[in-house]
Amino acid sequence: MDRRKFLSNLGTPVVAACAVCMGACSKSNSSGSGGGSANFTVDLSSQLLGVGSSLVSNGVIIVRLATGNVPASFSAVQVNCTHEGTAINYNAASNQFICPNHGSTFTTSGAVTLGPANRNLKQYTISISGNTMTVVG
């Protein structure tokens, strides 16, 4: 078989396989358009007990900012940095979210304070009933 015929026979399956692979390997939320939708609960009797503690669930990072089980004592933002989609961390000492990849920083409400990220993190709504926190957004 000549090279041209071989490549034409091989072309369609290879292109299809590459398209599937590229879709599967793409970064989620790397466009920074938001963290997607969330609707889940957190048991405050066993999680987020101390000021500065955090947890990640459903693409959201939740942080306890103060004592008391009221919404103002917590922050919930998308976990993926709006620059390249890397998971951010909370730094209690500086009271900010930090991207370990390129150093972008964000306030506890998700506003960019230092780039290279140039879009804010999506902030989620928190409600609390008893010891149950609900995160929606």
Per-residue pLDDT at 38: 84
Percent of the chain's residues with pLDDT above 70: 74
Least confident of 9-13, 14-18, 49-53, 105-109: 14-18
Cα separation, 77 vs 57, in Å, equals: 11
CB 65 within 8 A of CB 71: no
- Domain 39-136 classification at class level: mainly beta
Q: How far, rounded to the nearest angstrom, does the alpha carbon of residue 118 sit from its chain's CA centroid?
A: 15
pLDDT at 5 over 80: no
Taking alpha carbons only, the member of 74, 103, 73 closest to residue 88 is 103
Cα separation, 34 vs 59, in Å, equals: 10
Q: Give domain limits for the chain.
A: 39-136
